Structure 1
Amino acid sequence: MVFLHGLGGRTSNWTYQRQYFALKQRVICLELPGHGESEGQDVPFAAYRDVLAALLDHLDIEAADLCGLSKGARVGLDLAAQMPTRVRRLVVVNAFANLEPSERLERAKLYALLGQPDGRQLWADRLIALMGVQDHPTIARGFRRAALQLDAVHIQRVFSELIEYDQRAVLPKILASTLLVRGMRDGFVPEHCVEEMHRLIPHSSVLLLQNTGHLPYLEQPGMFNQHLATFLDK
């Protein structure tokens, strides 16, 4: 089982899942290029799938289950579409395959705050509210603390690639059974995105979590782990 963090994230984001699923199967968490302790800030987002495939090769893993949040989920979508035999089952948490122009502009303005003096805190506060996690003080504090440590230039560059990267054409190539998870309080990923992916991915199902936002695996880890385990056991 491979867990893939979101933009600006790291392996520690999946602590609850690592502890739970390590009792059942081999669990792997990686820090994507330019994140956490990983090098590779010059690696374009479109090549992240190749990094993941190379890791699986290095570990002598022919195929794996993938679970990713947002940007990490899009890496999973890419690998499942371009190298379908490498992915057994795929879990996509609060991700988009494409954004409308107005949605891209709105999010680009948000991430532009990272380049302004003292803009990191304002960016973090606005994103916390948009993600629907403002009622979780521990998550909010951790997010604000992580924001102060981000490489703003790198995060802005990757995000600009993400919002221009349209994956819709490759989604029908995905053969893996796919679970599309949406936290209904998430205001960062538009609601239509999961519906669009569901139409395009052949073997997909949708799980709507009523009382969570963008980070359900942190907001309600027990519930999230149970849903994930049920999907993997099918």
Structure 2
Amino acid sequence: MELNWQGETLHCTDEGTADDAVLFLHGLGGNANNWLHQRRAFAQHHRVITVDLPGHGRSTGMGIPFAQYADAAGAVLDHLRIDAVSVVGLAMGARVGIALAARSPHRVRRLTVVNGCLELPPREHERRVALYDLLLRPGGVREWAQALLEGMGVSGHAGIARGFLISADRIDPAHVNAVFHQVDALDQVEEFRALVVPVQLIVGERDHLVPTSSTDQLIALAGDATISRFPGTGHLPYLEDPAAFNRALEDFLHGQAASADGVSRDTALR
């Protein structure tokens, strides 16, 4: 499905027929197909929405600034005539979800942040800049992709690694680099602190892309959020262990605290 927004084309999917809608938002350089495991599982009992954010996947709009991505997500909901959703976002997608929930709290019922962060310490910022600036070097895309696989803690998953390398060959390196710099410079501490919706934090404990200090900051600010820790996964738990990920997410969507195999839960306190 496609819609026109600010002179650009946004691609989205709309599956399932239930009233309880869930919006899945991909990470930097990703697309709606990253959530195939979740689309198949959740469409049985939910209305499942995914979107290729501007300049990603089949959506145009490489010139759209990251600050407007939440507006793009809102435009998709408007187009589909959806008043309110639960939002699930990975990394960059989580930042979009935080912005959407902060700007339009009436539209977001619940928010799940998957391996997200609100700001980065200077040393980590410098490390990431060096990593993403590889994209601007001749032949640097493959070096960037290999380094990112290691950082995400998923290089040992042959299928995920293979798919990621194929996807890396299809990205626009300059666009991903430009969006990275916009996202990386963003400070969402106050936006997150002001959220009034229930929050779930999903943490892949083998993820080295998001520094521990950033995860600790999220937990400290998250009040009575649901914390779902995945000790056996890295940055992409929804791909690495989709069954456990889906159980943890389903529990949260239904306000339950039941445990899933291999997933530990605790409650973050202020």
Shorter-chain TM-score tier? over 0.9
- In 2, are the aligned partners of 1:175 and 1:202 still within 8 Å (CA)? no
Identical-residue share of aligned pairs (%)? 44
Alignment match of 1:101 (pick from 122, 130, 137): 122
Cα root mean square deviation, aligned = 0.9
- Secondary structure in 2 matching 1:170: helix
Alignment equivalent of 1:190, drawn from 211, 214, 223? 211
Q: What letter matches 1:125 in structure 2?
A: Q
Structure 1 residues not aligned, in runs of 5+: none
Say yes or no: does 1:76 pair with 2:97.
Answer: yes
Partner of 1:45 in structure 2?
66
TM-score by length of structure 1 reads: 0.98
Instruction: Tell me which residue corresponds to 1:221.
Output: 242
Q: Does the alignment pair 1:13 with 2:34?
A: yes
The TM-score with structure 2 as length reference comes to 0.85
Q: Report how far residue 233 of structure 1 moved.
A: 1.1
Q: 1:147 aligns with which of 153, 163, 168?
A: 168
Local SS of the residue matching 2:229: strand
Matched residue type, 2:64: V
Q: Whose radius of gyration is greater, 1 or 2?
A: 2
Partner of residue 174 from structure 1, selected from 171, 191, 195: 195
- For 1:16-72, what per-residue CA distance to the aligned partner results, in whole angstroms no more than 9, with x for missing partners? 000000000100110000000101111111111111111111111111001010000
Q: Give the structure 1 partner of residue 19 of structure 2.
A: none
Relative to total residues, which structure has the larger helix share, 1 or 2?
1
Partner Cα distance (1:152, 1:119) in 2 = 9
Shift >6 Å, 4+ stretches: none
Q: 1:81: how far off?
A: 1.1
Match of 1:111 among 118, 128, 132: 132
Matched, 1:160 2:181: yes
Shift of 1:132: 0.3
- SS of 1:27's equivalent in the other structure is strand
1:55-98 Cα shifts (integer Å, max 9, x gaps): 11111111100101000011001111111111001100011110
Give the match for residue 268 of structure 2. none
Q: What secondary structure sits across from 1:90 in the alignment?
A: strand
Question: Which AA in structure 2 matches 1:133?
Answer: V
Q: Distance in 1 between matches of 2:196 and 2:84?
A: 13
Report 1 or 2 for greater relative contact order, CA contacts < 8 Å, sequence distance ≥ 6.
Answer: 1
* 1:169 match: secondary structure: helix
Q: Where does the alignment leave 5 or more consecutive residues of structure 2 unmatched?
A: 1-21, 256-270
User: Partners of 1:113 and 1:79 in 2: how far apart?
Assistant: 31
Indicate if the aligned counterparts of 1:82 and 1:173 stay in contact, CA closer than 8 A.
Answer: no
In the TM superposition, residue 203 of structure 1 has moved relative to its aligned partner by: 4.4
Q: 1:202 to 1:86 in 2, by over 3 A?
A: farther
CA shift at 1:117, angstroms? 1.2
